[in-house]
Amino acid sequence: MKQLRFYFDVISPYAWMAFERLPLALQGISHEVRWQPVLFAGLLEHHGQLGPAEIAPKREWTYRQAGWLARRLGLPMQRPAVHPFNPLPLLRLAVACAGPQGTPNRWVCETLFRHVWTSGENPEDPARLPDLVARLAPRRDPGSVEVKEALRAATADAAARGVFGVPTIEVDGRLFWGLDSLEMLREYLLGDPWFDGPGWEDAGLWQPGSVRRRRGAGPGQGESA
């Protein structure tokens, strides 16, 4: 049985769509999935990246493409009233619902994703949170120091493993990033020999011909070759 870990933040429409489509991608494959909440903004900060919503043209494209993809996949997406939003209360609620294995179950994650992506309402509206908490009945206090630290630790651990975005699926120490990697993940799990050859292994050996200078970089940092 393959053990998979699905890294997600409810702020991402692609994470939601990948969550909904993952059972189809894994059909016929013996597996177990652990659903790992992480703070996408924390991953971006760790890797020195801007988020899609922080670049105006990219933000507009993201919303257009996400809407088209949801329609194509037959998913009932209604864009939330505000986006981006602060996902921390929802992520902490997910962590607070974690079971004996340390991660929430699929139903908890489904409820949180649909709270954001199928209602058309404001995901961080404080008036909606008590009902959500009552439905999920967390094992721990979502506002506790213990839960907050668990989310920070999970995000840091994900970054240390090379996770840079959501959704990311980890299996056998390999990372598959993005909704569009589900087909690639399935081929790997079915034993496609490509994954044991240079197509996978040599990806990190490619040498950059130039490196863009970062704003604020000192001499010798980020200079083009």
Residue closest to 90 by CA, chosen among 62, 117, 109? 109
Average pLDDT, the chain: 93
Alpha-carbon distance 145 to 63, whole Å?
34
Tell me if the domain spanning 2-205 has CATH number 3.40.50.410: no
Coil, strand or helix: which one is 177? strand
pLDDT tens-digit readout, 69-94? 999 999 999 999 999 999 999 999 99
Look at residue 11 in the predicted model and tell me its pLDDT: 98
Cα 104 to the chain's mean position, in Å? 14
pLDDT tens-digit readout, 165-209? 999 999 999 999 999 999 999 999 999 999 999 989 888 778 888
CB-count burial class (<10 Å; 0-12, 13-18, 19+) for 104: buried
Look at residue 214 in the predicted model and tell me its pLDDT: 62
Spatial CB neighbours of 74, under 8 Å, sequence gap ≥ 6? none
Look at residue 38 in the predicted model and tell me its pLDDT: 98
Is the bond preceding residue 167 a cis peptide, omega within 30 degrees? yes
| CA–CA distances in Å: residue 183 to residues 25, 192, 209 | 7, 12, 31
The pTM of this model reads 0.93
225, pLDDT greater than 60: no
Mean pLDDT, residues 122-148 taken together: 97
Look at residue 218 in the predicted model and tell me its pLDDT: 42
Look at residue 215 in the predicted model and tell me its pLDDT: 55
For 51, phi then psi, to 5°, come to: -80, 160
Mean pLDDT, residues 134-148 taken together: 98
pLDDT tens-digit readout, 38-51? 999 999 999 999 99
Look at residue 221 in the predicted model and tell me its pLDDT: 37
Coil, strand or helix: which one is 179? helix
- More confident call, 215 vs 71: 71
**Would you kindly state where each structural domain of the chain is located, as residue ranges?**
2-205
Cα 202 to the chain's mean position, in Å? 25
| CA–CA distances in Å: residue 6 to residues 33, 95, 178 | 7, 14, 11
